[in-house]
Structure 1
């Protein structure tokens, strides 16, 4: 019998290194990562999402995660989750669709990693707004995780430092039976 794949949420505000980290972790552990669907959505539609797009975006993200879980080995690194989609809904529309809120409440990850917004902010076409929004979303994320009692690891510094931080967390967690 094979061990179940442990899903790891990689969360953070825009331009905080989530995708780079998730891809590097997947390479290091010889497994899969699930890229952020929002990036594909923006590229495909040549626009940022409307409020009505948020729930379908989160559903697609989760469906891709579910599909990848059956092919991953040991870990599955998830570059964002419905929780981030819900936070951006709060940021831009001041509310979260009830369907999205239900999906967001299913935060069932073995570990939650949060990328600190400690690198220079870089614009990226339609998807990134400003350093101010990045810092606000980071605060909202940390407050939400703490309010829900979701344990998380804040990752700071460059990629190599973040990789070492994650390795330590995963090694300790696997040894403890997470």
Structure 2
């Protein structure tokens, strides 16, 4: 028996056709992740997932302790999964993820000498269709609790490049400022449909 247009085949086609692609925007502190993620979400009529670390710091009035790093990672993952589910329901093409569990693993190792989150972070990173690595070519600006300065930014950026290269995950580096940075990111995202 052949399914009717309104039967099981319709649901299958809808699920395949509107399966959103997760795009990770990752970079060290003060590289414009949030600004760019919001702009891309607006441009592509897609969803944006904010960085959970920022929300945590705002809510707690402090940076997380070593024992809270795994909670930060889990919360970031859960927010991304919730957004992906909503995107499927609303036929939204992309979910723009401001940061990623990989950055939490790097912070955990950098600040607390704890590399235990890398294995999980690497597995979770395979969910992204594309990673945009934001270059630290913007002026560093103090922003309260999450800002440690240019030396920390450079060190974290080097670790990100190393980890992404080692994982051999699709990654496009985005640089420049303002509209130039946005246009470069738009072109990068458009590679997913070409």
> TM-score higher than 0.5 here?
yes
CA distance in 1, matches of 2:152, 2:64: 16
**2:137 aligned with 1:118, yes or no?**
yes
1:80 alignment partner in structure 2: 99
Map 1:66-77 to 2 at 5 A: 66-72=81-87, 73-77=92-96
Task: Select 2:158's aligned residue among 135, 139, 159.
Answer: 139
Secondary structure of the structure 1 residue equivalent to 2:144 = coil
Task: Select 1:12's aligned residue among 27, 35, 41.
Answer: 27
Task: Select 2:121's aligned residue among 73, 90, 104.
Answer: 104
Stretches of structure 2 that go unaligned for 5 or more consecutive residues are: 1-13
- Larger CA deviation: 142-151 vs 3-12: 142-151
Secondary structure of the structure 1 residue equivalent to 2:83 = helix
Secondary structure of the structure 2 residue equivalent to 1:76 = strand
CA distance in 2, matches of 1:101, 1:143: 13
Secondary structure of the structure 2 residue equivalent to 1:70 = helix
Q: Number of residues paired by the alignment?
A: 173
Q: TM-score, normalised by structure 2?
A: 0.86
Map 1:1-178 to 2 at 5 A: 1=14, 2-72=17-87, 73-97=92-116, 100-106=117-123, 107=125, 108-175=127-194
Q: Deviations over 1:65-97 (max 9, x none)?
A: 000112221000000110000011111012223
CA drift at 1:105: 1.7
Contact kept? 2:106, 2:118, Cα under 8 Å: no
Contact kept? 2:122, 2:167, Cα under 8 Å: no
CA distance in 2, matches of 1:110, 1:55: 23
2:4 alignment partner in structure 1: none
CA drift at 1:62: 0.5
Secondary structure of the structure 2 residue equivalent to 1:118 = coil
CA drift at 1:165: 1.3
CA distance in 1, matches of 2:130, 2:190: 12
2:11 alignment partner in structure 1: none
CA distance in 2, matches of 1:172, 1:52: 39
Stretches of structure 1 that go unaligned for 5 or more consecutive residues are: none
Over 6 Å off, 4+ runs: none
Secondary structure of the structure 2 residue equivalent to 1:110 = strand
Q: TM-score, normalised by structure 1?
A: 0.93
